[in-house]
């Protein structure tokens, strides 16, 4: 392996030398040239959100011409500092949201953390976040900018060199707030784990963007940009997490699209099938058909979805996957909860499962979601007296044998929510932890 890598490095080097020798201009453009940046092969498909809730799409450069040059390796005080602004437990049992500030100077980092906390409050007030908010940790990563504010605010001509290069008027659309993807990754890498990245820009002007797939090597699935001082823009992150966490498709129609003629798509909230056909085939959201949905109306098959005007149907008339500021519909809510449980657990404990418990020990488990049912089992047999008790003493487990012996103690938690009814998804609603006990 070492040899072949060495060979390819040599070849790459030779190619570069050859290109320079024949006078071919290097493809790398100066970072301050927006036109060259627009020609980058790493252009991104983003979503644009109007203040009235309408959503559309645009293609934008991955780079920003307004990223501040690093000051010769001398980091500003506090740059890259990581603070936990919402702490619900260890990262392995939680979903980790990473919020990165842009356009905040060294003396404005407290303001950044306040803005980030406020935007998280807006996001987590929406269902199913409100019920499941304790499954999340929120980290604030400080990116110190030399200048306060972001480009394009208040005027299109306003230029501010900032850590992430945030700019309004991206693709000539005033409310489209773009960032430099590479700069975002540099800061996101500083948090212990990123399941979701939200860039908080130092502005009160309405705007934002949804980057669906940035193919970040860090493994998170999308970036939402929001205006730190604008309550409505937090909803942009809610829609984007519909894609990243819920694996949901858009339910809006993009301008100028032909009817859909493709195969049945994979996403849970769009289908080529009619309501009758879903019922017959027991397909897609047939279990929810006719039920009253939190976003209004009954679940059915509404024409136009996945950006197509026809050929694809959506579950309800107007959910958050169609318009900003709305609720998820029933199939969407189910997919979101399943997505939460893919990365977070309904049961955790500060006592590692590798701990060997003895007769005098106590054990506490955390059930982050209200309504979760808990059962305790000793060697496979339920200790019914301990049902739903979060803290137990090993001595509560009943009489011991004549000699101390090793036993298996198991806690099983189940979230009995009626919001998840697909049998393929319900196993994730149950989690267990096992300790070994000597008593
Ligand atoms: Zn979308």
376: domain CATH number? 2.60.40
What's the gap in Å between 98 CA and the centre of ligand 1? 20
Please give the distance, rounded to the nearest whole angstrom, from the Cα atom of residue 329 to the centre of ligand 1: 15
CA of 347 to the centre of ligand 1 (A): 31
Report the C-alpha gap between 416 and 420 in whole angstroms.
9
Last residue of a domain, one of 215, 244, 273: 244
Beta bridge partners of 407: 437
Q: Give residue 288 CA to ligand 1 midpoint distance, Å.
A: 22
Residues 6 or more apart whose Cβ sits within 8 Å of residue 125: none
- Identify the domain boundary among 244, 262, 292: 244
Kindly state the tokens that stand for 435: 């300790």
Ligand 1: centre distance to CA 55 (Å) = 7
Q: Separation of 327 CA from ligand 1 center, angstroms?
A: 14
Q: How far is the CA of 190 from the centre of ligand 1 (A)?
A: 27
Segment 24-49 shows an average pLDDT of: 56
Give the 3-state DSSP-derived string for the chain, with helices as H, strands as E and coil as C. CHHHHHHHHHHHHHHHHHHHHCCCCCCCCCCCCHHHHHCCCCCEEEEEECCCCCEEEEEECCCCCCECCCCCCCCCCCCCCEEEEECCCCHHHCEEEEEEEECCCHHHHHHHHHHHHHHHHHHCCCCCHHHHHHHEEEEEECCCCCCCCCECCCCCCCCCCECCCCECCECCECCECECCHHHHHHHHCCCCCCCEEEEEECCCCCCEEEECCCCCCCCCCCEEEEECCCHHHHHHHHHHHHHHCCCCCCCCECCCCCCCCCCCCCCCCCECCCHHHHHHHCCCCHHHCCCECCCCCECCCEEEECEEEEEEEECCCCCCCCCCCCCCCHHHHHHHHHHHHHHCCCCECCCCCCCEEECCCEEECECCCCCCEEEEEECCEECHHHCCCCEEEHHHHCCCCCCCCEEEEEEEEECCCCCCCCCCCHHHHEEEEEEEEEC
Ligand 1 mean position, distance from CA 185 (Å): 21
Classify residue 304: in a domain, yes or no. no
Spacing, Cα 209 to ligand 1 middle (Å): 10
Structure tokens at 386: 């301990």
With a cut of 60, say whether residue 302 has pLDDT above it: yes
CATH number, domain of 53, equals: 3.40.390.10
Say whether both 239 and 376 belong to one domain. Answer: no
In a domain, 56, yes or no: yes
User: Which of the listed residues 221, 244, 267 is the one where a domain comes to its end?
Assistant: 244
Cα 354 to ligand 1 centroid, rounded to whole Å: 42
* Half-sphere exposure for 418 (CA within 13 Å, toward CB): 2
Rounded to the nearest 5°, which phi and psi values hold at 240? -65, -35
| pLDDT for res 71 | 58
Q: pLDDT value at position 73?
A: 56
CA of 396 to the centre of ligand 1 (A): 51
- Give the count of domains, the chain: 2
| Cα(173) to centroid(ligand 1), Å | 17
Average pLDDT over residues 332-355: 95
Domain membership of residue 231 (yes or no) is yes
Predicted pLDDT of residue 30: 39
Which residues have CB atoms below 5 A from the ion given as ligand 1? 47, 250
Residues in the chain: 439
Q: What is the pLDDT of residue 92?
A: 83
Q: How far is the CA of 243 from the centre of ligand 1 (A)?
A: 6
Q: Is residue 158 part of a domain?
A: yes
Distances (CA, A) of 119 to 200, 238, 274: 8, 11, 38
Q: Evaluate whether residue 383 is within a structural domain.
A: yes
CA 420 – ligand 1 centroid, Å: 22
Say if residue 23's pLDDT is above 50: no
- At 154-185, the pLDDT tens digits run 999 999 999 999 999 999 999 999 999 999 99
Closest CA to 358 of 400, 311, 314, 329: 400
Angstrom distance (rounded) from CA 312 to CA 301: 9
Distance from Cα 249 to the centre of ligand 1, integer Å: 7
301 vs 45: which has the higher pLDDT? 301
Asked whether residue 78 falls in the same domain as residue 225, the answer is yes
Distance 46 CA to ligand 1 centre (A): 9
- Residue 321 alpha carbon to ligand 1 centre in Å: 6
Token readout for 306 is 């996945």
Lookup: tokens for 373: 């049912």
pLDDT tier, 70 (very low <50, low <70, confident <90, very high otherwise): low
250 in Cβ contact with 267 (< 8 Å): no
Task: Provide the pLDDT for residue 74.
Answer: 59
Q: Are residues 239 and 365 in the same domain?
A: no
Give a yes or no: residue 86 inside a domain: yes
Task: Please give the order of strands across the beta sheet that includes 136-141.
Answer: 55-60, 44-49, 208-211, 223-227, 196-201, 95-102, 136-141, 82-86
Q: pLDDT tens digits for 260-273?
A: 999 999 999 999 99
Distance 237 CA to ligand 1 centre (A): 10
pLDDT at 31: 42
**Residue 16 predicted with pLDDT over 90:** no
If you measure from the C-alpha of residue 408 to the centroid of ligand 1, how many angstroms do you get, rounded to a whole number? 47
Lowest-pLDDT range of 130-139, 146-155, 191-200: 191-200
- For 25, other C-beta atoms within 10 Å of its C-beta total 8
pLDDT at 38 over 70: no
Report if residue 17 sits inside a domain: no
Same domain, 48 and 189: yes
For position 15, what pLDDT does the model report? 32
* Same domain for 376 and 227: no
Mean pLDDT of the chain: 88
- Which pLDDT belongs to residue 35? 42
Expressed in angstroms and rounded, the spacing between residue 323 Cα and the centre of ligand 1 is 9
- Measure 4 CA to ligand 1 centroid, in angstroms: 42
Global pTM reads 0.85
307 Cα–ligand 1 center, Å: 9
CA of 143 to the centre of ligand 1 (A): 27
Q: Containing domain of residue 401, as a range?
A: 356-438
197, 98 Cβ separation under 8 angstroms: yes
The three-point CA angle 341-346-347 to 5° equals 135
- Domain assignment present for residue 65? The answer is yes
- List the single range of 228-242, 292-306, 354-368, 384-398 with lowest mean pLDDT: 228-242
């Amino acid at each position: 392996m070492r040899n072949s890598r060495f060979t390819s490095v040599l070849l790459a080097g030779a190619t570069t030398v050859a290109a320079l020798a024949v006078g071919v201009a290097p493809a790398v453009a100066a970072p301050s040239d927006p036109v060259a940046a627009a020609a980058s092969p790493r252009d991104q498909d983003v979503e644009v959100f109007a203040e009235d809730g309408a959503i559309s799409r645009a293609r934008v450069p991955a780079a920003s011409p307004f990223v501040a040059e690093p000051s010769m390796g001398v980091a500003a005080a506090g740059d890259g500092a990581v603070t936990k602004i919402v702490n619900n437990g260890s990262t392995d049992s939680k979903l980790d949201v990473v919020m990165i500030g842009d356009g905040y100077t060294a003396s404005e980092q407290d303001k950044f953390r306040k803005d980030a906390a406020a935007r998280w409050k807006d996001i987590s007030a929406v269902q199913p976040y409100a019920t499941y908010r304790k499954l999340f940790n929120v980290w604030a990563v400080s990116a110190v900018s030399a200048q306060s504010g972001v480009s394009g605010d208040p005027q299109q001509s306003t230029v501010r060199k900032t850590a992430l290069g945030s700019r309004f008027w991206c693709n000539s659309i005033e409310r489209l707030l773009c960032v430099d993807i590479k700069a975002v990754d540099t800061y996101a890498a500083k948090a212990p784990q990123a399941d979701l990245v939200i860039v908080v820009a130092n502005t009160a002007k309405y705007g934002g963007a949804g980057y669906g797939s940035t193919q970040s090597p860090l493994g998170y699935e999308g970036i939402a940009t929001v205006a730190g001082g604008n309550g409505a823009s937090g909803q942009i992150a809610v829609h984007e997490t519909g894609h990243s966490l819920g694996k949901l498709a858009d339910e809006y129609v993009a301008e100028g699209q032909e009817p859909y003629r493709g195969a049945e798509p994979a996403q849970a909230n769009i289908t080529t099938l009619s309501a009758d056909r879903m019922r017959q085939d027991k397909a897609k959201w047939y279990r929810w058909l006719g039920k009253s949905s939190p976003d209004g109306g009954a679940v059915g098959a509404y024409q136009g979805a996945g950006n197509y005007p026809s050929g694809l149907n959506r579950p309800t008339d107007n959910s958050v996957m169609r318009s900003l500021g709305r609720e998820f519909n029933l199939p969407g809510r189910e997919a979101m909860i399943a997505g939460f449980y893919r990365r977070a657990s309904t049961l955790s404990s500060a006592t590692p499962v590798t701990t060997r418990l003895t007769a005098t020990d106590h054990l506490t488990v955390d059930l982050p979601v209200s309504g979760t049912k808990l059962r305790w089992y000793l060697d496979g047999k339920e200790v019914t007296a301990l049902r739903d008790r979060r803290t137990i003493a090993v001595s509560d487990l009943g009489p011991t044998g004549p000699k101390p012996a090793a036993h298996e103690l198991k806690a099983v938690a189940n979230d009995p929510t009626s919001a998840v009814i697909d049998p393929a998804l319900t196993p994730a609603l149950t989690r267990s932890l096992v300790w070994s006990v000597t008593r």
